[in-house]
Structure 1
Amino acid sequence: MAEPSQDKLYSTTLRTIGVVAKLPVVRVDREAFLRKQFSDFEHLDVILERGPQAVYSVESLRKKANSLIRNSTAKTSAVSFAAGLPGNPAVMVAAGGADVVQYFGFAINLAQQIAYLFGEDELFEGGGELSEAAQVRVIAFLGAMFGAAGAASLVAKTSKVAGANIGKKVAAQALTKTAWYPLVKKVGAIIGMKITKKTVEKAITKAVPVVGGVVSAGLTFVTFRPMGHRLADTLVRNLNGEFDDVLDLNSEFAARAESVVIVPETAEDAKP
């Protein structure tokens, strides 16, 4: 069977993000989150206005991120166990898909927590649907969580510190016309491949009575925790200025780069 095209995989990612963004559990209010995390700390006003990185060292924030990742992983695995319990075989594949939406919902929820901890601004502006610029940021976060090639550069381009004008850039011209669109599409396609593989994986676990729930929770725990740490490490590197020398693609190369082939994940790539 032929591998899905980059366009198809990218579309899968956009559709999944669109569905996931509607789940109440996905959205994290930045101010409420920061107030809860730093309620007993001094300089809360500065933290709310400029971000925790304006008050605390990157190293201390990285340690705090460990706690967020640990707690989120435990919650996600528990929910995955319940969702992994066998149901009607006729709806097994559909249920597997729903479980995947739930999985990515928790991933985006955790991504927001980690991002806000390292000074990024609100993802769901006004509490509404994700804007096109916000979708790009979600792709960057998820790409970093999965260790996708180029995702770290995309995080740097879309971060509050290095890419505060992303919204203006997208508004000024169609996303497809920007020099960095090929990178967005490439990272998005890699995520699309992950979504496709996760859907099959989740559907299979539902076919195993009782054990399916244990397998589902185990797979979630093994994969979800490293995802959080990858994003946290990427944001640490971003704050440390390691991506300051990121170069934009020239328009001619960017146009050719859209035809890049997505290489299936190898066993080596799958290691956390």
Structure 2
Amino acid sequence: MKSPEIARRHDRITSLLASHDSLSAAALADLLSVTVQTIRSDLRMLDQEGTIRRRHGSAYLLTPGDNIGYQPRLEMSRDEKARIGEAVASIIPPGASVALGTGTTVEACARALCRHEGLTVFTNSIHAVLALHLAPRISVSLAGGAVRLRDLDFIGSESVEFFAGLRLDYAVFSVGGISPDGDLLDFNMEEVRARRAIFESARHRIVVADQSKLGRPAPHAFGTLWDAETIVSGSEMPSLMDELEQADTRFIQV
């Protein structure tokens, strides 16, 4: 387990790399006011986790066609994701029907929802099921099909069919990235189809996105921020606020 100081610094490194093609160890050391030796140690750890890659003295995030492994993502922006989860839990009342998507931010939302009684939850995430197992008087249905072992979730055709016939109160889902124009992005078409099915299953759609997602590229788009009713994020989105207000999309910064 990383110390809080190292975890915060690693979050800052990944956020900086998300907004640059690459950065040298010296540049990162200057931006974070630490020594180059400290940054080199950080980059070595992040490389071993599969979060970044090092090349010729510089570091960069994985290519847009790849996503970071689940465990490294779980460590990134942990405090921010917990705040996002608490904000989502304040929106969803006890007794509601809820679709939960995949990803570490949605897992944080599931943990926060454990205090709610009488929820009816539909999800394609095994992590979400495990997070909810102590919730009082809760009903959980899990999508079937082939398990994606790296992320412990279901994103194939069975998952799409699972959500297609549902009409729920709320849907909570994350994204692979958000373009500067507000497009919701993801890394492969199966993920896009599953997220779109979740999106269409509920009357109130909640997009959850930690700071690393804003401006992060991914190859497939499946909607825009203002298609949702609520956005919960730790990042400011000043360039997109006019469109969100015009669409009557609520933006909550945590």
Q: TM-score, structure 1 length as denominator?
A: 0.23
Considering fraction of residues, name the structure with more strand: 2
| Structure with greater helix percent | 1
